[in-house]
Amino acid sequence: MLLAFSSTRASAQTAIPDTNARVIVKFKAGSTLLPKTATTAAAQLAGQAGALGTRIGMSLTAGEGVAERIQVVFGSGITSEQLAQRLAAESDVEYAVPDQRRHHTSAPNDPLYLAGATVAGTTGGPVAGQWYLRAPSGEVQSSINVEPAWDLSVGGTPIVVAFIDTGVRFDHPDLLRVAAGGNLLPGYDMISDAAMANDGDGRDADPSDPGDWVTQAEISQRGGPFYQCTDTPEDSSWHGTQTSALVGALTNNGIGMASVGRSLRILPVRALGKCGGYDSDIIAGMLWAAGLNVPGVPANPNPARVLNLSLDGDGTCTSAYADAIARVKAAGAIIVVAAGNSTGHALGTPANCAGVVAVAGLRHFGTKVGFSDLGPEISISAPAGNCVNTSAGTPCLYPILTAANTGLTSPVPDSAGGSIYTDSFNASLGTSFSAPLVAGTMALMLSVQPSLAPDQALALLKSAARPFPTTGSVNSDGTPVQQCTAPQPVGSAQVDQLECYCTTSTCGAGMLDAGGAVLAALGATSSPGLVTVTEFYHPQFNHYFITADAGETALLTAGQLPPWVPTGLKFKAWSGPGTNITNVCRFFSASFAPLSSHFYSNDPLACPALKDGGVWALESLNAFYMMPSPTGVCPAGTIPLYRLYNNGMGGAPNHRYTVDRAVRASMIASQWVPEGNGLDVVFTCVPA
């Protein structure tokens, strides 16, 4: 046995193996190698490693603890794989695996991720590339740190993100239809007014963006559909292509830009055309995107879990929006809305509607960017692009690089060179670009935890936000930057509020952190909910009974099964399995009739053993869930649950379970016997 691994040395001819083994080992519950008394954690780990080494005949030292019964052990003269194999064969070991080193996914190979095109004349840049996606660094503090999110979410369920916008250019090589290897679903064109739609008709199944330019002649034409709809003529914006590329651009494809999304799908819903769009079309688009019925429109075969609305208008939230938002949320979809770009005014609609995730815009440094609106309705903030140097002809340093088209009016096909990326001279700036960063992050959260409800996802997103900077920035005229203050209420005269230090009452919970948010969502999968376990007492039998079943609790509490009465004592348990959280089996025995006797166990061996033993009948495999504690030590956030045994007094076995040490002491004084592990004789750990 001692030499069992020497025969593998022949394989070392071509590559010298690392013979400093590092293995994660989990001891079985009840292993004789686990100390019976808890000393210090370090001494316990060392003792376990030493005992395990003695068992296999080699010297092992202890690394850090990982969880209850799980720790790292080191060995020398053997590879991690070999040691893991040896340890896994031991009867006391539940598993042993090499403790491998992991790395973040390397930066994607999209060339613009690290740096924009070379600046030449009035094209190219930004030098900082897609700074807004990367980890924060130096003065660039608002970056959303997306790479850790990719590590966690690759391969998850493809989540659909709808963009209620101007439509998309399907031929952009970093977008493309799903059928052509891209991320764009067919979507729908919800614009009912043919003139605004600019595609010759009303609603149709093609959300391709034909361009939304407006000429001087159109805005000057009295009685025309675009009379004075804007102050000056406008080129086509390709706004929907720009916003959706931030979530849906193909990433790590060696072309152009990267995006927030991995394994995400984009649902283009066209609702904005020349000079904007009507609420009715926007709302119809929202409902349809979430899978709800819109009369006259075929059902959406790809319902979205996240809706992005990079649009706004004046006024307070209308009943039409409030109704639609409630229905979309009830369908399980999250609605992300840009704050608006009115230079620090109160939010417009629908950003000011309750129930949406309103996103304000940040400068690279993390302060509110001058153009972004703000207010108490904001949930979180994200980069919106800013230039730093605004003198004529110099490049904008921190725009939001994204996909676009060269066409000033109609789109230029990709085959004619029309597909481009915005840069330091054709700069994308606005809260329109902050919202998709949040929408994409929430979609990644859903891809690792699809069951998250909209409000749960938002709470997790906020919990992972990084704090806003509070010092370190000066205005371009050298004066200190001020703290942001609440805007004037909607309807009263608005005061501009340029760059300012965000607060949680003006810019939401903090700066978006995509990696942290997806990690929080992933953690939520192993954190089941809590239940209350209520204790009851039978004075004639001197027996105790506990239950987490709501119906049973109500019945017993109401005194409908006399003489059972509530003792007033309760403790918490979990409602489902999780990391180190296991099911509690509940048994009943009629063998001691008429004395009622229940028994509870979360020992993975006791459940099947009792079930097959004849005396006890299994009533439930998962009455509730608890955390076993073989060492008698309970980790942070949990407390010990004690078990007392009546030692057969009165003719039938009965146990009492309590988190109350005084109750335990009084039971011991009454000759009940404590049962459990460690110095403190702990049965299991339960939520604090």
Q: Which residues are catalytic?
A: 165, 239, 432
Nearest Cα neighbor of 237 from 432, 397, 396 is: 432
Residue 206 is a binding residue for Ca ion (CB under 5 A): yes
Q: How far is the CB of 400 from Ca ion (least distance, A)?
A: 15
Nearest Cα neighbor of 591 from 653, 656, 655, 673 is: 653
* Residues 477-496, interacting with Ca ion (CB under 5 A): none
Q: Which stretch binds Ca ion (CB under 5 A): 196-204, 415-423, 635-643, 649-657?
A: 196-204
* Residues 608-627, interacting with Ca ion (CB under 5 A): none
Question: Counting beta carbons within 10 angstroms of the beta carbon of residue 363, is it exposed (0 to 12), middle (13 to 18) or buried (19 or more)?
Answer: buried
Question: Counting beta carbons within 10 angstroms of the beta carbon of residue 120, is it exposed (0 to 12), middle (13 to 18) or buried (19 or more)?
Answer: exposed
Q: How far is the CB of 403 from Ca ion (least distance, A)?
A: 9
Applying CB under 5 A, the site for Ca ion has a residue count of 12
Phi and psi at residue 444, to the nearest 5°: -65, -40
Q: Which stretch binds Ca ion (CB under 5 A): 85-93, 127-135, 205-213, 413-421?
A: 205-213
**Helix 454-463 vs helix 434-448: crossing angle, to nearest 10:** 110
When binding is defined by CB under 5 A, the residue of 68, 110, 147, 535 that contacts Ca ion is 110
When binding is defined by CB under 5 A, the residue of 197, 247, 286, 500 that contacts Ca ion is 197
Burial 54-79 (b: 16+ CB within 10 A, else e): ebbebebebbeeeebbebbbbbeebb
* Residues 157-176, interacting with Ca ion (CB under 5 A): 174
CB nearer to Ca ion: pick between 206 and 279: 206
Q: Which stretch binds Ca ion (CB under 5 A): 129-137, 202-210, 619-627, 631-639?
A: 202-210
User: CB nearest Ca ion: which residue?
Assistant: 189
When binding is defined by CB under 5 A, the residue of 64, 201, 455, 660 that contacts Ca ion is 201
Q: Are 53 and 90 in contact (CB under 8 A)?
A: no
Residue 205 is a binding residue for Ca ion (CB under 5 A): no
Q: Which stretch binds Ca ion (CB under 5 A): 106-114, 143-151, 226-234, 657-665?
A: 106-114
* Residues 229-258, interacting with Ca ion (CB under 5 A): 250, 253, 255-256
Q: How far is the CB of 237 from Ca ion (least distance, A)?
A: 16
CB nearer to Ca ion: pick between 420 and 509: 420
First CA to last CA distance, the chain:
46
In angstroms, what is the C-alpha Rg of the chain? 31
Sign of the four-CA dihedral 420, 426, 431, 432: negative
DSSP labels for 653-684? --EEEES-HHHHHHHHHTT-EEE-BTTTTB-E
Q: How far is the CB of 148 from Ca ion (least distance, A)?
A: 19
d(CA 596, CA 654): 9
CB nearer to Ca ion: pick between 99 and 110: 110
Residue 675 is a binding residue for Ca ion (CB under 5 A): no
CB nearer to Ca ion: pick between 197 and 452: 197
Sign of the four-CA dihedral 660, 666, 668, 673: negative
Residue 312 is a binding residue for Ca ion (CB under 5 A): no
Q: How far is the CB of 490 from Ca ion (least distance, A)?
A: 33
Please give the DSSP secondary-structure letter assigned to residue 558. Answer: T
Instruction: Give, for 84, the enclosing helix (H) or strand (E).
Output: helix 80-88
CB nearer to Ca ion: pick between 68 and 199: 199
When binding is defined by CB under 5 A, the residue of 92, 193, 204, 549 that contacts Ca ion is 204
d(CA 452, CA 302): 18
Q: Which stretch binds Ca ion (CB under 5 A): 197-205, 225-233, 293-301, 654-662?
A: 197-205
CB nearer to Ca ion: pick between 203 and 543: 203
CB nearer to Ca ion: pick between 269 and 581: 269
CB nearer to Ca ion: pick between 19 and 253: 253
The bridge status of strand 582-589 relative to strand 617-628 is antiparallel
15 CA to centre of own chain = 41
Residue 146 is a binding residue for Ca ion (CB under 5 A): no
Binding site for Ca ion (CB under 5 A): 110, 174, 189, 197, 199, 201, 204, 206, 250, 253, 255-256
